[in-house]
Amino acid sequence: MAAVLLLAANSTAAADGPLTMATTTVAHDLAPPNATLVVASPLTSDVAAPRADELSQRVANLVASAIGPSGRVAPHPMTLAAARALSSRSAALLFVDVRVEGGELRLTSDLYPVVGNGWDRIRAPAPPPSKHSFVHVRVAAEVRAYLTPIHLERARVTRFAQDIGTVLAVLCGDVEGGTGNALVVVTQGEIAWGHLAGGRFVATRRAAASSIGRRAPTPMREPLASLALTEGDTPTLYVGWTGRSGAGLGSDLGVRSRISGLPVPSASRVLCLVPNSAKAGFDALVDCADGQPTEGVAPVPLFDAWSEADISRPDGEHVRVVAARDPLATLHLVRGSESLTVDGVGAEVALGDLDQDGVVEVVTTTTRGDDALVVSSWRASGLVERLRIAAPRGVDAVAVCPADANDAPAVVAAVGPEIWLVH
């Protein structure tokens, strides 16, 4: 089984939680006048939401707070018609339609003028909005706290055939911008992205590795590869091999930029790991564009697997988690000021909050006996195993998929001629 460098699916991290980010954006986009009344709709959700009204009211409170001291807020969620009646003595009405759909919190907001004069109300009882805003963020712990919990122990495995060959790295993410998760796979000879459908991996785009980068003069004995993705309107997909130079690619897999190493997400940017072929591992983090050393310090001097994730807690705070496996198969974990080491960990490592409770899950493989995909939660007491799936053929690559249309994050793994989706 080839050792593989794995990483989180995208590189965007934020100082604020998704609720704060979204509601602050609403207030900024609409720039309402003083004494505006903020009202949220009752929640519409494609998953069960035991605390639906609390979530909607939380949205209204945060928007009003982002407006400033003059922001007023309705006492509870209500319809637009009820909000119009309540806003008759306000300078304006800011109405937020609150939805949880496709793994996202979606806020559609409109700023309405308030008709104060009775004759004006007769002539124009329902004036149209003067400004409009649409904001969407992925569901994380801060939002999940209001929805039905996810139980990892109930996860199931769906298997898909693949004919691309021995996979070195996988990644899930929005490759095209606004189209939802795609699956990216890399072998020694090519990169492809597509979707899992009809029981198999169906490639939308494929490109030969030789069209992306030149062969390295001194490649590592065992081939490694990595992927990273910066999402947005024009996403950039980064790929790197230990045996070949890497690049930043568009969704057409055309080269946009050259990079110095194997890409990994780090905070708000993509960094590159520099392979040391003599030591059969990585010993430096550099800026991908110019190869200059960065201030980031790995938790161990030499490592052969790396993952990083930005975990959102239920209170909206974020914590950076880093995992690096040394050549002796010891996994070194760092979470803020905390650290933990775990012996006997396989070469596949990925991090993410799979049940969206604000506690990071560590996805690993094994070194003893038959291989297995192991999902553990890093709690105050240490790593607590939540799920173990036997994989006698060996796991070649693993990654965490962000929440998408099925609402919850998932694990994707390359296992021989199959792709496994654990969800």
Task: Walk along the chain (423 residues) and give the pLDDT tens digit of each residue.
Answer: 333 333 333 333 345 788 999 999 999 999 999 999 999 999 999 999 999 999 999 999 999 999 999 889 999 999 999 999 999 889 999 999 999 998 899 999 999 999 765 555 545 567 899 999 999 998 999 999 999 999 999 999 999 999 999 999 999 999 998 888 999 999 999 999 999 999 999 999 999 999 999 999 888 889 999 999 998 789 999 999 999 999 999 999 999 999 989 999 887 688 999 999 889 899 988 989 888 888 766 889 999 999 999 999 999 898 999 999 999 999 999 998 999 999 999 999 999 999 999 999 999 999 988 999 999 999 999 999 999 999 999 999 999 998 876 668 999 999 999 999 999
Question: Order of strands across the sheet with 361-366?
Answer: 345-352, 361-366, 372-379, 382-390
The reply to whether 52 and 81 lie within a common domain is yes
Tokens of 298: 């790995």
Based on the fold, state whether residues 232 and 367 are members of the same structural domain: yes
> Domain range holding 45?
18-139
Identify whether residues 156 and 112 lie together within a single domain.
Answer: no
Is 37 among the domain residues? yes
Same-domain pairing of 22 and 134: yes
If you count DSSP H runs as helices and E runs as strands, how many of each does the chain have, helices first?
5, 29
Which CATH number is 418's domain given? 2.130.10.10
pLDDT of residue 14: 42
How far, in Å, CA of 294 to CA of 149, rounded? 39
Position 120 scores a pLDDT of 52
- Angle made by CA atoms 63, 64, 70, in degrees to the nearest 5: 145
Q: Check whether residue 294 and residue 334 sit in a common domain.
A: yes
* 164 in a structural domain: yes
What local confidence, expressed as pLDDT, does residue 13 receive?
A: 38
- Pair 106, 156 in one domain: no
Does 82 reside within a domain? yes
- Tokens 């994050």 — which residue? 409
Instruction: Tell which phi-psi region holds residue 287, choosing left (phi > 0), alpha (psi between -120 and 50) or beta.
Output: beta
The CATH number linked to 82 is 3.40.50
Pick the last residue of a domain from 139, 166, 200.
139
Domain membership flag for residue 314: yes
* Residues linked to residue 282 through DSSP beta bridges, in sequence order: 275, 303
Q: Is residue 11 part of a domain?
A: no
257 and 371 together in one domain:
yes
Q: Clarify whether residues 134 and 217 are in a common domain.
A: no
Domain count, the chain: 2
Mean pLDDT (the chain, rounded)? 91
Question: Among residues 3, 7, 4, 5, which one has the least CA distance to residue 352?
Answer: 7
- Say if CB 254 and CB 242 are below 8 A apart: no
What's the pLDDT at 18?
Answer: 84
Whether residues 205 and 263 share a domain: the answer is: yes
Domain boundary among 111, 139, 167: 139
Residue 63 inside a domain? The answer is yes
Residues 300 and 206 both lie in one domain = yes
Boundary (domain end) residue, out of 118, 139, 160: 139
Give the separation between CA 341 and CA 80, rounded to whole angstroms: 54
Residues 6 or more apart whose CB falls under 8 angstroms from that of 364 comprise 331, 342, 345, 346, 348, 349, 374, 376
Rounded alpha-carbon distances, angstroms, from residue 78 to 57, 96, 255, 276, 319: 10, 10, 50, 61, 35
180 and 301 share a domain? yes
Q: What is the 3-state secondary structure (H, E, C) of 330-386?
A: CEEEEECCEEEEECCEEEEEEEECCCCCCCCEEEEEECCCCCEEEEEEEECCEEEEE
Q: Does residue 1 form part of some domain?
A: no
Within a domain: 210 = yes
Count CB atoms within 10 A of the CB of residue 340.
15
- Residues 205, 93: one domain? no
